[in-house]
Amino acid sequence: MIVLDCQPLSIVDNNGFNAFIKLLDPTYIVPSRKALKEKLDKKYKVTKENAIAEMGKFSAVSLTADMWTSINMDAYLAVTCHYITDEAKLSSLLLGESVPPVPPPDVQDRSLWGLLDSHVEAEQRAPSATSSAIAEVPKRCTPVKGGGPPEVLG
Residue 18 has pLDDT above 50, yes or no: yes
User: Which pLDDT does position 101 carry in this prediction?
Assistant: 61
CA distance 63 to 83: 9
- β-pair partners for 81: 63, 93
Q: Given pLDDT bands bounded at 50, 70 and 90, which one contains residue 144?
A: low
pTM reported for the whole predicted model: 0.51
In Å, how far are 64, 73, 112, 117 from 67, measured between CA atoms?
Answer: 10, 12, 13, 20
Please state, rounded to an integer, the average pLDDT across all residues of the chain.
74
Residue 41 β-bridge partners: none
Q: What is the pLDDT of residues 41-86, one digit of tens each?
A: 998 889 888 888 887 887 788 888 888 887 877 778 888 888 888 8
Q: Output 73 or 143, whichever has higher pLDDT.
A: 73
Position 147 scores a pLDDT of: 53
- Asked whether the predicted pLDDT for residue 131 surpasses 70, the reply is no
| Residues 98-124, mean pLDDT to the nearest whole number | 57
Q: Shortest CA distance to 2 belongs to which of 15, 11, 22, 94? A: 11
